[in-house]
C-alpha cells in the first residue's frame, strides 16, 4: 500500500488536489466552465431566459448524511430558495416518486438540515452561483442565487 501523500489543492488547501470539486486545475473544472460559458452564450444570443441548470454527481460516505440516500443542493446552504419551484426541488420530488418503492429518499438542505454536504466550497458551484471566476477559491456564493445542482 502506498503511503498517503499530502498534496493539497492550489485553490483550497484543506482539500487534496484529487478532490476535483475544490480545484481549478482539473479537467472536471475546465469542462464545467466551458459548458457554463456556452450556456451563457446560448442565452444571450437567443435573447431568452436562462433555463440551464447543472448537475454534479458525487459519492458520499454512508455516514455523511444519515437521513438521505441522495442529497441535492444548489451549492448554497439551507435557504428559502428550496421552497420555490427550482430544478433541485423538482429533481428531489421526481426521484422520490420513483425511488420510494425501493426504500430510498432524496432530500435538499431544507429537509435534511443535519447534512452539511451543500457544496458551499465547490469552486464550480460558486462560479455558477455568481462568484467571479477569479474569486471561486475563497468567496462563498450568495444565498439568493440558484444555479447549480450538486447531488451526493
Residue 139 has pLDDT above 90, yes or no: yes
Query: How many angstroms separate the CA atoms of 37 and 133, rounded?
Result: 11
- Tell me whether residue 31 is in a domain: no
- Tell me whether residue 139 is in a domain: yes
Count of domains observed in the chain: 1
Q: At 138, is the pLDDT very low, low, confident or very high (cuts 50, 70, 90)?
A: very high
Cα dist from 34 to 29, 31, 85, 140, whole Å: 9, 5, 27, 21
Q: Determine the pLDDT at residue 105.
A: 92
Q: Which domain holds residue 72?
A: 53-151
- Tell me whether residue 144 is in a domain: yes
Beta-carbon contacts of residue 115 (< 8 Å; ≥ 6 apart): 64, 65, 67, 68, 71, 107, 109
Nearest to 13 by CA among 27, 21, 23: 23
- Tell me whether residue 57 is in a domain: yes
- Tell me whether residue 84 is in a domain: yes
Cell of 65: 448524511
- Tell me whether residue 35 is in a domain: no
- Tell me whether residue 8 is in a domain: no
Query: How many angstroms separate the CA atoms of 131 and 80, rounded?
Result: 19
pTM: 0.72
Residue 30 has pLDDT above 80, yes or no: yes
- Tell me whether residue 15 is in a domain: no
Amino acid at each position: 500500500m502506498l503511503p498517503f501523500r499530502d498534496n493539497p489543492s492550489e485553490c483550497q488547501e484543506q482539500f487534496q488536489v484529487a478532490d476535483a470539486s475544490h480545484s481549478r486545475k482539473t479537467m472536471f473544472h475546465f469542462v464545467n466552465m466551458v459548458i457554463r460559458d456556452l450556456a451563457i452564450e446560448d442565452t444571450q444570443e437567443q435573447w431568452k431566459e436562462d433555463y440551464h441548470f447543472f448537475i454534479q454527481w458525487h459519492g458520499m460516505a454512508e455516514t455523511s448524511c444519515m437521513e438521505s440516500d441522495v442529497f441535492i443542493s444548489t451549492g448554497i446552504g439551507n435557504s428559502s430558495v428550496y421552497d420555490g419551484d427550482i430544478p433541485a426541488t423538482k429533481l428531489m420530488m421526481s426521484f422520490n416518486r420513483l425511488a420510494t418503492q425501493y426504500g430510498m429518499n432524496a432530500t435538499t438542505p431544507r429537509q435534511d438540515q443535519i447534512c452539511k454536504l451543500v457544496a458551499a466550497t465547490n469552486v464550480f458551484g460558486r462560479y455558477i452561483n455568481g462568484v467571479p471566476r477569479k474569486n471561486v477559491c475563497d468567496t462563498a456564493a450568495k444565498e439568493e442565487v440558484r444555479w447549480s445542482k450538486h447531488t451526493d
